Structure 1
Amino acid sequence: MNRMGAGQETLAGMDIVEVAARTVVLASADAGLRQRLRRSLTGLRWQVREATGGAEAMAQLEASRPEALLVDSWLPDLEVGEFAGQVRTMYPSMEMLRVDGGVDGGARSPRRNELLHALREAQEAPLNDTAAWKAAPITLPRNTGRAPSVVKSFDQEAARRALSVLLGREESTHAESAASHALPDEVMLPELVGASAPMRELARLIRLVAPRSTTVLIEGETGSGKEVVAQALHRLSERASKPFTVLNCAAIPEALLEAELFGHARGAFTGAVQSRTGRIEAAHGGTLFLDEIGEMPLALQAKMLRFLECGELQRVGDNDVVRVDVRVIAATHQPLQQRSEERTFRLDLYHRLAVFPIEVPALRERMEDLDLLAEHFLEKMGQKLPRKRLSAEASAKLHLHHWPGNVRELMHVLERGAILSGDRMEIGAEEIRYRRTAREQD
């Protein structure tokens, strides 16, 4: 192996890159497993950085440029296989191992045996078995151990590929441990309530596109939860710590929408007594969510298209150009493709927004999720008022409804039912009413 100095080495025939020798990232939602691995690796003179999920692990990889990554068989926020593929692409020169000890080729750390030993020890020793941590240290081969060193940079491509090795294709030696992480809702997100096939597919698409800065167009009926999807995309992105700015294009008068979106200079129009930053600038570094984008006037659509193309904007009444780094997520309940063909919405803007389209299913398309959604809303209402439950007759009545207002309508029906039930802790079928006139719908 060629040596270029502390922290530099050639891995698996790859180009020489600077890595943080003896630094390892642990990606697992299991706090006990992380504790056992940390204690074992620390005893072997490794610097350990922990992550409870895939998004946090990616941040740790970028910040520390580690020599190795250990990943669990399940992560709470990202699908493990997709996470592994992304890391493989970004970090090809980094060692990746599964927590069950599986290896499937790729880059190889000169201290792989230490990592495998730590994994075996963490899997075999109970968390409260202190004697297991007093075992004699391993005798290392000569010239394999080096003091930790802080490294300045790491080839980004070298850092992203290493992750998929870790989720390898070999059989697990601890099937019980892997099975314990195979939760029924392992592909779901906290924001999404439901376990139906349409919701699992929705969660998969969110996880695929969230880490990127790709423009997303969320389509779906009114009340189906489009803003919830946008919030999930922002939370799982690298921009999660930055602003999430929302603008409902249908809620602002056309005459004021341009100034609201792009900002304005002092004196730009009557009443503009001072300059104001628009929603786009306010979202700098983060995410701009444009709800009901189909309501944006045609004249403003041209200006929006220019911003999406070049990332530059001009405030109303100002000649200065401002460059802004913003990810745009748009939502609509309208058939924008059809409207663009009818020339009531710009075709070029539609194509620029729909780089990655996501369709949110209507409630009637996932009725198997209705009971979970009802329990979710009743639980939320129970945080401020006594927790109520649905009678069997009330639940059956909910399943007979067509739900034109989708999830939002369900939430309102349950809130109305909770009020109508008075002091009773159970909501009966007679309290399930779909019209504001309080007449039951047959």
Structure 2
Amino acid sequence: MPLPLPIAKFVSPVAPRIRPRTAILASADASFRQRLQQRLTGLRWQVREAESGAQAWGEAELSTPEAVIIDSWLPDLDVTEFLRDFRGSFPRVDVISSDGATASDGPRSPYRQELLYAMRISQDTDTAAWNTACDLDDTQPVVSANIKKPPATVLPDLMAPIALDTVEPALSAGPVLVPSAPTVRKEPALIERLPELIGNAPCMLEISRRIRLVAPRSTPVLIEGPTGSGKELVAEALHRLSTRSRKPFVAINCAAIPEALLEAELFGHTRGAFTGAVHGRMGRIEAADGGTLFLDEIGEMPLALQSKLLRFVECGELQRVGDNETVKVDVRIIAATHRPLAKHTTEGTFRSDLYYRLAVFLIRTPALGDHPEDLPLLVGHFIEQMGRTQPVKRIDVNAMARLKEHTWPGNVRELEHVLERAAILAGDSVEITADEIDFGMPVN
């Protein structure tokens, strides 16, 4: 009797498990990490975020990343040294800096084009503040025809859309997402403004973008704008987002201190340096050591004192009035003015060499008349602020209409004072009417 044949078992083939692609995002800019993380997640990436170089290194040890996207500035490490050491420990990882560059001796991931595309889209989103106002909200009027769109920042080899034949075969493990050419319209939710700056007009969003870009660095910043447009708020935001935020923020108004005392106020003085100097005193610059020095109305500084400030800006050393010794101080300088300093340099009323050292990065705050669509938002903000110390009031329709008719020569500061005066005039009433809107202008 023949032996029964063994019954063959049918084993269904099991698809090999595909390890998700991993990228590490190393940047101190949380908004940039968030935007890029959203893009890469949509392209089937597993994303690990890091706020510093040390954290990025730790994430790389815990995972096996295909790529590391690293900011060109790190709060804890020198980028050049980090890249050298990182490549030595992780030779198979593709390292790309946030500006799209990478060292030529490093490996190139098969997903490089996809990563660069996601980076470009994320950075395009950050420049969306320069779209027209209608792009943000079709119901809003355009702020001003004078607002010009600056040339877009172009990353190397990133502007052309990805062609089908450039998509690597490695992407076949999952559905291939071939991005289309970017559209002009941007999503409003992705445009972020800083909480200190009230307003969603393109010019206000551009200020937030510039602050986020330059805040982590020690680059000198010059803020230009009309009186009352919020220059000090910009300076405080720069300090808050910087690595110096735990150190002092020292502000001095160069126009509010007499010329004879301004030098001693800035640089300090020794005992007996001048009449009345009974005790030695530390200057404002020295008091800001490790932090930020805000020089408001720098255009009012006398020429003789500008030369002494220039020496400090160049070498970081100061000399107290009446002292022969120099003191080394580490401060980040932010200056502000309502004057056109570039014009004053040609007229000889402001030193051109000092101007070019202060205006390494320029931020302009607009007049309120340049973004009138932000008026309701500003009114709501100031009414809410006043409601913290007194009963909350509301603005009726006629009062708001009167506010919209005003030209606001004093800008946002004038609006704040007008609303405070109106709240006082309204007394116990919960509503501010048009009768309480007093612009403090003389009656003819």
- 2:416 maps to 411
Matches within 5 A, 1:278-317: 278-317=283-322
Contact 1:25 1:69 in 2 (8 A): no
CA shift in 2, pair 1:299/1:66, >3 Å: same
Residue 249 of structure 2 is aligned to residue 249 of structure 1? no
Q: 1:375 to 1:68 in 2, by over 3 A?
A: farther
Deviation at 1:351, TM superposition (A): 1.2
Q: Deviations along 1:116-141, whole A, 9 cap, x unmatched?
A: xxxxxxxxxxxxxxxxxxxxxxxxxx
Q: Report the secondary structure of 1:240's partner residue.
A: coil
Q: Which residue of 2 aligns with 1:369?
A: 374
Q: How many pairs align?
A: 315
Pairing of 1:18-167 with structure 2 (within 5 A):
58=51, 60-62=52-54, 65-68=57-60, 84=71, 86=73, 92=83, 93=86
Counterpart Cα distance in 1 of 2:290 and 2:221: 16
SS at 2:289's partner residue? coil
Measure, in 2, the Cα distance between the counterparts of 1:259 and 1:431. 45
2:223 maps to 1:231: no
Q: Which amino acid in 1 is paired with 2:400?
A: S
Which amino acid counterpart does residue 232 of structure 1 have in structure 2? A
Note the alpha carbon deviations across 1:212-238, whole angstroms, 9 max, x for none: 111111000000000000001111111
Counterpart of 1:284 in structure 2: which amino acid?
D
The Cα of 1:390 is off from its aligned counterpart by 0.9
Letter in 2 for 1:346: R
Quick one: which amino acid aligns to residue 227 of structure 1? E
Q: Is 1:424 aligned with 2:429?
A: yes
Q: CA RMSD in A?
A: 3.9
Task: Give the one of 273, 279, 282 matched to 2:278.
Answer: 273
Contact 1:25 1:68 in 2 (8 A): no
Partners of 1:295 and 1:83 in 2: how far apart?
42
Q: How much does 1:183 deviate?
A: 6.6
Q: What is the CA deviation profile of residues 170-206 of structure 1, one whole-angstrom value per residue up to 9, with x for unaligned ones?
A: 9999xxxxxxxx7737421111111110011111111
- Is 1:388 the equivalent of 2:393? yes
Match of 2:354 in 1: 349
Q: How high is the TM-score relative to the length of structure 2?
A: 0.63
Query: Deviation at 1:68?
Result: 3.5
* Contact 1:24 1:66 (C-alpha < 8 Å) held by counterparts: no
Determine what percentage of the aligned residue pairs are the same residue.
59
Closer/same/farther in 2, CA of residues 29 and 301 from structure 1, 3 Å limit: closer
Deviation string 1:330-366 (CA, Å, 9 cap, x unpaired) is 0000111111111111111111111111111111001
What CA distance in whole angstroms lies between the structure 1 residues aligned with 2:327 and 2:242? 24
* CA distance, structure 2, for counterparts of residue 257 and residue 185 of structure 1: 45
Residue segments in structure 1 that go unaligned for 5+ positions in a row: 1-22, 34-48, 51-56, 71-81, 98-104, 109-168, 174-181
Secondary structure, aligned partner of 2:336: strand
**Bigger shift: residues 183-192 or 396-405:** 183-192
Deviation (angstroms), 1:61: 3.5
Q: For the residues of structure 2 that align with 1:83 and 1:408, how far apart are their CA atoms?
A: 40
| Native 8 Å contact 1:24 1:69 kept in 2 | no
User: In the TM superposition, what whole-angstrom CA distance separates every residue of 1:43-73 from its partner, at most 9, and x where no partner exists?
Assistant: xxxxxx99xxxxxx53x43578423499xxx
Distance 2:216 2:357 in 1: 19
CA 1:299–1:24 in structure 2 vs 1: closer, same or farther (change >3 Å)?
closer
Q: Please point out which of 310, 323, 343 is paired with 1:338.
A: 343
CA deviation after TM superposition for structure 1 residue 84, in Å: 5.0
In the TM superposition, residue 26 of structure 1 has moved relative to its aligned partner by 11
Tell me the SS of whatever aligns to 1:331. strand
